[in-house]
Amino acid sequence: MKIGIDTGFGHTKYALYADGKLKLGKFPSVVANANDDFNDRSDHVRIFENQLYYVSDIALKQDPKDIKELISYKTLERFAPLLIAEVLRLENLNSQEVSSVGLGLSPAHKEHAATFKKRISSFAVDEKEYKFKNISITPQGVGAVHAIKKFWENGGVEEPNDYITVDIGFNTMDVIITYDKQIQKGKINEDNSFEQKGIIQIAELMQKYIKNEFQKEITLKEALVIFLGESYKLRGQNHNLSEVVKTMKAQYTIKTMEFLEQKYSNDFDKMDAICFVGGGGYFIDGQYAQHIQTFKDSEYYNAIGNLLMLK
């Protein structure tokens, strides 16, 4: 079996074929220290490198001081094995059943590609060995372009000749340029990859809002969950934040488009299409310009593309 995985800073997304059909899944990229006893731990606790951790949704339920903020390459590299093991656990697979794994890594971190590949090629979780012989590391955003191309083809839609794909993740914003329907590999670099420009900006806004309105300190991952759910539950009471979220989305869209206009104004003028993908792609107003395109389920496009590119 082949699996495409996007170990995003916000959510880990994955794609695989099950019974001939494309299957998609995701869970929060959250890890928290577990203070259980090694010999009497709960079923939710994972053993990794002689430490105990919670992973995914249950990690968000822990004390904020125990939650690890996966918002940098360093923390991603450290905990990526736990995220990959969680994918296989959810799909009831072992590493021997997986022939190939495709993952993405932001061009902003491309100098770490070899180290990242080595880190995830062999590890142990819950004293179970995970070894992958065929691992492909693709620049983040490239997988999404391949997914878009495939969906255009399947839908009978003519691929634009020249277009930009803006992949907005939790931390990074990666820009992939396509001329004459060919990805410009020479432009996949740090100059077109921007840290701290993803939806982490929205999470920071929500984090600040919760502190000011409720006098509570929360992590960025908790803030993202509140933002996506448009509600904050405090001591059994749900606070509707739909209007707050609406305002934050508008602020983020304006800020993002101003940044992109500053960097790519001339390119925007010449391109046939501007494609927004990733979790942040949902927040872009398609009415901003006629040639802007957004896509359903675009947060999965890197995982899908990483799967499609596996040999």
pLDDT digits (tens, 9 = 90+) for 76-109: 999 999 999 999 999 999 999 999 999 999 998 9
pLDDT at 132 over 80: yes
pLDDT at 40 over 80: no
Distance CA 192, CA 177 (A): 9
pLDDT band at residue 290 using 50, 70 and 90 as cut-offs: confident
pLDDT, tens digit (0-9, with 9 covering 90-100), for 5-18:
999 888 999 999 99
Q: What is the mean pLDDT of residues 192-216?
A: 94
pLDDT at 311 over 90: no
* DSSP per position, the chain: -EEEEEE-SSEEEEEEEETTEEEEEEEE--EEE----GGG--TT-EEETTEEEEETHHHHTS-GGGEE---SHHHHHHHHHHHHHHHHHHTT--GGG--EEEEEE-GGGGGGHHHHHHHHHEEEETTEEEE-SEEEEEETTHHHHHHHHHHHHHTTPPPPSSEEEEEE-SS-EEEEEEETTEE-GGG-SGGGEETT-STHHHHHHHHHHHHHHH-----HHHHHHHHHHTEEEETTEEEE-HHHHHHHHHHHHHHHHHHHHHHHHHHHHH-SEEEEESGGGGGS-TTSSTTEEE-TTGGGHHHHHHHHT--
Domain ranges (residues) in the chain: 2-140
pLDDT at 291 over 90: no
First to last CA, the chain: 11
Q: What is the mean pLDDT of residues 30-34?
A: 95
Q: What is the mean pLDDT of residues 22-31?
A: 96
Distance CA 179, CA 81 (A): 36
On average, the pLDDT of the chain sits at 93
Q: What is the mean pLDDT of residues 235-252?
A: 93
Q: What is the CATH number of domain 2-140?
A: 3.30.420.40
pLDDT at 137 over 90: yes
Name 168's bridge partners: 173
Query: Which of left, alpha, beta for 142 (phi over 0: left; psi -120 to 50: alpha)?
Result: alpha
pLDDT band at residue 289 using 50, 70 and 90 as cut-offs: confident
pLDDT reported for residue 62? 93
Q: Does residue 303 contact residue 15 with C-beta atoms inside 8 Å?
A: yes
pLDDT at 150 over 90: yes
Predicted model pTM: 0.90
Percentage of residues in the chain having pLDDT higher than 90: 78
pLDDT reported for residue 42? 82
